[in-house]
Amino acid sequence: MSEDCALCRILSGQIGSDPLYENETLVAMLNRWEPLSRGHALIFPKRHVASLHEMSVAELSDVLPIVKRLVVALDIGDYNVIQNNGALAHQTVFHAHFHLIPKWSESEGLGLTWNVVRGLDQSEVYARMIAHLVVDNTA
């Protein structure tokens, strides 16, 4: 719990919400604060952590099944699932969370631009990733 965190304040009931789903570690609720479309939902851990990589594997493994339940409930085929980490990556609430954003039409939902860098030299970062990649499903 972080007193200055909006999602923690929602979890503690200090800010009202429209809950959709809850289990031992995660909650899902309607994004009534800054929705991009009807049914825009937030899924996040009850435990205050800032970023995805601070979530446990157990917390992470529950996220996509919840997203699937919400998608089935919405009965939609067009939607985005997005998760931002760090200010440069457009994270504005620093409690890890996932967005499920229905794309009902061209104008309603997530607008997205891919900044593709053609010919990018990735050899150094690729070598670093391979050298330091840890396969640990328990962390």
Residue 23 identity: N
CB-nearer residue toward Zn ion: 2 or 61? 2
Residue 123 identity: S
Residue 106 identity: E
Catalytic residue list contains 99: no
Please spell the DSSP secondary structure of 74-93, one letter per residue.
HT-S-EEEE---SGGGT--S
CB-nearer residue toward Zn ion: 46 or 104? 46
How far is it, in rounded angstroms, from Cα 94 to Cα 82?
A: 15
From the candidates 40, 90, 95, 97, give the one annotated as an active-site residue: 97
Please identify which residue in 5, 71, 76, 81 interacts with Zn ion, judged by CB under 5 A.
5
Q: Which of residues 29-88 bind Zn ion (CB under 5 A)?
A: 48
Q: Are 39 and 75 in contact (CB under 8 A)?
A: no
**CB of 77: closest distance to Zn ion in angstroms?**
32
Contact pattern for Zn ion over residues 85 through 114, marking x by CB under 5 A: ----------x-------------------
CB-nearer residue toward Zn ion: 97 or 103? 97
Task: Name the β-bridge partners of 44.
Answer: 27
Q: What is the DSSP letter of 104?
A: -
Binding site for Zn ion (CB under 5 A): 2, 5, 7-8, 48, 95
Q: Which residues are catalytic?
A: 97
